[in-house]
Amino acid sequence: MILWKLNFHRLIAITHQGLFVDLIVIIIMLMNRVFTQTFGVAGALIERDGKFLLVKEAQSDEADAGKWNHPAGWIELGEDPIETVKKEVREETGYDFTPTYLLGVYSLMRKDLEYKEGQARHPIKLIFTGDISKEPVGQLADDVEIIEWFDPDQIEAMPGDTLRDLDIKQMVKSYLSGARYPLQAVTHTLVSH
């Protein structure tokens, strides 16, 4: 029996020969993220003393390497979005984060990645605001080069080759205009039976 799977534009044939190796290949294929549908992201727009905290993507072969972004990450299967944003902020900034409000839900179609990576991405982003610890309590994740505070005008002036997700400009405007929604607007239900 041969199982064929098209993944990231590569055709992979898996046979019964070397079953252990085949299982490892299947696990790796399942770990790859395929962007054929929208996906959920939880992120934070963090403000302190009129400035916003952004993270710079570490240098790599990724299309967004070296660009500034807000701390954010995929909502894993079964994960509460509020717990996701706490985890992602700590991993990417070193700060503990306590969400206080939902800033908004942002739909970002990244067609620019079609040319660079072979497929577009369409995250639906739940963006939270909140409080962070006075000082970082942890190390930066490997995929983050540095963190820095920016004035709203600096963010507004950033072009697409500097700012990863251009919807960050709208997030800053929404924040400055007072947009806030109670955390109760985000509910997480886990059905186990």
Q: What is the pTM of this model?
A: 0.78
Q: Which of residues 129 and 109 earns the better pLDDT score?
A: 129
Task: Residue 125: give its domain's CATH number.
Answer: 3.90.79.10
- 15 shares a domain with 66: no
- Cα separation, 34 vs 30, whole angstroms: 9
Q: Which amino acid is present at 193? A: H
Quote the domain boundaries for residue 101.
Answer: 39-184
Which tokens go with 101? 């409000």
Residue 10 lies in a domain: yes
- 107 shares a domain with 153: yes
- 115 shares a domain with 79: yes
Mean pLDDT of 153-176: 93
- 104 shares a domain with 47: yes
- Cα separation, 61 vs 68, whole angstroms: 16
- 157 shares a domain with 102: yes
Segment holding 155, helix H or strand E: helix 152-157
Q: Which of 14-18, 32-36, 177-181 has the highest mean pLDDT?
A: 177-181
Please tell me the predicted confidence (pLDDT) of residue 122: 82
Q: Which amino acid is present at 37? A: Q
64 alpha carbon, distance to own chain's centre: 12
- Cα separation, 61 vs 78, whole angstroms: 30
